[in-house]
Chain A
Amino acid sequence: MTLLPIHWALIGIWGLLAAASVLVLWISSRSKKNVTELVQRTQSWWVMVAVFTLAFLVGKTVSVVVFALVSFLALKEYFSMIPTRRADRRVLFWAYLAIPVQYFWVYDSYYGMFAVFIPVYMFLFLPFASLLSQQTDGFLRAVGTLNWGLMLCVFSISHAAFLLILPPTPQSSAGGPGLLLFLVFLTQFNDVAQYTWGKLFGRRKIIPGVSPNKTWEGFLGGVATTFVLALLTAPLVTPFDLAHAAAAGLLIPVAGFVGDVTVSALKRDLGVKDTGSLIPGHGGILDRIDSLTFTAPLFFHFTRYFYY
């Protein structure tokens, strides 16, 4: 078996994870503070990277199904934490059904339908389905919140899956899988980098009204680290030239930050700390993919505009 560039990229990710785990072990053996959460977080990373790698290596169909499941879990988490109306049970059911349909367009490479199904058809259909119960108290809030959840958890995330089915280009043999790996790796790495820089050097708060732990030092340190990593990895798995690699290396960390604080604002409004308890040490699945809800569609259209 010959190793392709994306295989080397995956090996690199596992190597990085192993190195980070050794570091965490060393910290937890030395530190007198409670580091249970840090250890749990690291363990959860192993599971997440394993699931992702497995899906990725098995093939396109399995990967699309895994992204559909991620959307399902995220939407379920969202519907479970926001106020909903009993009268809208059926509407929620329709919203869930949009997931297999949306991911079928992905699987089918049907870009036209993929791009309009949720923002046009579901957008128009959900209010109609809701008014059938003839309960107008809270109608606006219900329709607004349900549509936003569907956009965030399903429409946005499905863009990551759509990257996967993009064909190879003259500049890069890695094609869609390479782009997906680039996006997901940099988005998640950026989360960790911003967190780590913030923990080590964080001083000046960046947006205390929404997220009191976020600092300028964390944000800028994360952006710089991700930027460098984007320049280094882009030639391996993407068709980007240097300028585009640099642009993507800024787009991903900045959009990731905005996605993160957007979900923070939602949680603060609802008065919850985590969106769920699915991933030990991290919280819910929405806590983990909050950045991806912003980076996936933006990175997808960036790539599509310049290369497809």
Chain B
Amino acid sequence: MLQKIFYLFVKIAVLFLLGLNVRRKELLPSDGPAIVVANHNSHLDTMVLMALMPLSKLKDIKPVAAADYFFSSPWKAWFSENVLGIIPVDRGGANRTNDPLEGCYRALNEGKVLILFPEGSRGEPEQMTGLKKGVSYLAEKFPEAPVVPVFTHGLGKALPKGSFLLVPFFCDIFIDEPMTWEGNRIQFMNLLQERFSVLSREKNFAPWE
């Protein structure tokens, strides 16, 4: 309930303040198990992808985000888990004991849709960095779940890392055909990288430096 009200406001704000140009919206899965993979420029990324989903499906859509950031205080943890619907992933070092993707496995088993940002961090706005290979483990373990690449542009201009001032820009959301598991993790990651680079060349974006 709380989540629906929150995202209703997000939907209105996203439509009015930003304005989205979505290409091939019909390819976005709202029924799981499925994995949506997007590039990461801004806190708005999760908000916008969630805002594209029907309100009735929201409880089955789970953004995957860093535990050290979103669960750093009890308040943040409560908000992240109950309103945003985040699945925490521990991105910390070598001394971890259990599989950091445990929460993702459970959600996919329950037929949820995961939203994943394999760049790991928002980084420099509107610049893509190398992809972390966690997503390939998920794809290997759940070969029946389609992996849908989504390229976004403009959200990093509207609200880059380290800024609290939202400046309106129209944003582009390009959704790609789903990828299926072919049996090789390295090949999978290369293909994903290739898909992103094709999507990012679909339009000439205005320079921003």
Question: A272 to B204, Cβ gap below 8 A?
Answer: yes
Contacts of A80 in B (CB 8 A): 154, 169-170, 206
Cβ of B35 to closest chain A Cβ, rounded Å: 27
Interface 1/0 per residue, A84-115 and B, CB below 8 Å = 11100110110010000000000000000000
In the complex, are the beta carbons of B170 and A77 less than 8 A apart? yes
Q: How many A-B residue pairs have CB under 8 A?
A: 46
Q: Within residues 39 to 86 of chain A, which ones have a CB less than 8 A from any CB in chain B?
A: 72-73, 76-77, 79-86
Say whether B208 contacts A92, CB under 8 Å. no
Interface centre among A85, A86, A92, A276 (most CB of B within 10 A): A86
Q: Is B88 an interface residue (CB 8 A)?
A: no
Establish whether residues A278 and B19, one from each chain, have CB atoms under 8 Å apart when the complex forms. Answer: yes
For residues 1 through 45 of chain B, which have their beta carbon under 8 Å from a beta carbon of chain A?
19, 21
Residue pair B167, A81 in contact (C-beta under 8 Å): no
Chain B residues with CB under 8 A of A4: none
> Which B residue's beta carbon lies closest to that of A89?
B167
A136 interface residue per 8 A CB criterion: no
**C-alpha spacing A84/B208, complex, angstroms:** 5
* Cα–Cα distance between A155 and B169 once the two chains are bound (Å): 20
| Interface membership of B186, Cβ < 8 A | no
Report A-chain residues with C-beta under 8 Å of the C-beta of B157.
84, 86, 89
Q: Are A271 and B167 in contact (CB under 8 A)?
A: no
Supposing A83-B206, A85-B208 touch, asked if A96 and B160 sit within 8 A by C-beta, the answer is no
Q: Indicate if the CB atoms of A92 and B167 lie closer than 8 Å.
A: yes
Give chain A residues whose Cβ lies under 8 Å from the Cβ of B160: 86, 89
Which residues of chain A (7-28) have a CB below 8 Å from chain B? none
A76 near B209 with CB under 8 A, answer no
User: Is B209 a contact partner of A96 (Cβ separation < 8 A)?
Assistant: no
Find the residue from A85, A271, A272, A277 having the highest chain B CB count within 10 A. Answer: A277
| Cβ–Cβ < 8 Å partners of B206 in chain A | 80-84, 270
Q: How far is the CA of A77 from the CA of B19 in the complex (A)?
A: 9
Q: Does B125 contact A (CB under 8 A)?
A: yes
> Smallest CB-CB separation from B20: which chain A residue?
A277
Q: Would B207 and A83 count as touching, CB distance under 8 A? A: yes
Report the minimal beta-carbon distance from B208 to chain A, rounded to whole angstroms.
6
* Chain A, interface SS category: helix
Residues 259-289 of A, flagged 1 when their CB comes within 8 A of B and 0 if not, give 0000000000011100011100000000000
Listed residue (B21, B165, B167, B169) with the most chain A CB atoms within 10 angstroms of its CB = B167
In the assembled complex, which residues on chain A have CB atoms less than 8 Å from the CB atom of B165?
89-90, 93
A89–B125 Cα distance when bound, in Å, is 13
**CA A93 – CA B167 in complex, angstroms?**
6
B167 close to A86 (CB less than 8 A): no
Q: Which residues of chain B are within 8 angstroms of A92 by Cβ–Cβ distance?
A: 167
Cα(A270)–Cα(B209), bound, Å: 16
Whether B178 sits at the interface, judged by CB under 8 Å, is: no
A236-274 vs B, CB cutoff 8 Å, 1 = contact: the mask equals 000000000000000000000000000000000011100
B residues near A77, Cβ cutoff 8 Å: 170
Chain B nearest CB: distance from A229 CB in Å?
34
Which one, A89, A93, A277, contacts B21 given CB within 8 A?
Answer: A277
- How distant is A220 from chain B, measured CB to nearest CB, in Å? 35
**Given the complex of chains A and B, what is the CA–CA distance between A90 and B163 in angstroms?**
11
The 8 A CB mask of B187-209 against A (1 = contact, 0 = none) is: 00000000000000000101111
Complex: chain A residue closest to B159, CB-CB? A89
Cα distance A84–B206 in the bound complex, in angstroms: 8
* Residues of chain A lying within 8 A (CB to CB) of residue B163: 89
Q: Does B118 make an interface contact (CB < 8 A)?
A: no
CA distance A283 to B87 in the complex (A): 39
Among A85, A90, A271, point to the contact of B209 (Cβ < 8 A): A85
B123 interfacial by beta-carbon distance below 8 Å: no
Q: Provide the bound-state CA to CA distance between A185 and B165, in Å.
A: 39
Question: Which residue on chain B has the smallest CB distance to residue A277?
Answer: B21
Contact of A276 among B21, B167, B204 (CB under 8 A): B21
Cβ–Cβ contact B208 & A276, under 8 A: no
Q: For chain B residues 149-182, which have a beta carbon within 8 Å of chain A?
A: 154, 157, 160, 163, 165, 167-170
- Determine the distance from Cα of A92 to Cα of B165 in the docked complex, in whole angstroms: 11
A84 to B165 alpha-carbon distance, docked (Å) = 16
Residues A86 and B209 in contact in the complex (CB < 8 Å), given A73-B19, A80-B154, A272-B204 = yes
Q: Knowing A76-B19, A80-B154, A278-B19, say if A86 contacts B208 (CB, 8 Å).
A: yes
Contacts of A96 in B (CB 8 A): 167-168
| 8 pairs of A and B residues whose beta carbons are closest in the complex | A83-B207, A80-B170, A80-B169, A277-B21, A89-B167, A76-B168, A92-B167, A93-B167
Q: Identify 11 new A-B residue pairs, CB closer than 8 A, beyond the known A79-B168, A79-B169.
A: A72-B168, A81-B206, A84-B157, A85-B208, A86-B125, A86-B160, A89-B160, A89-B165, A270-B206, A271-B204, A276-B21
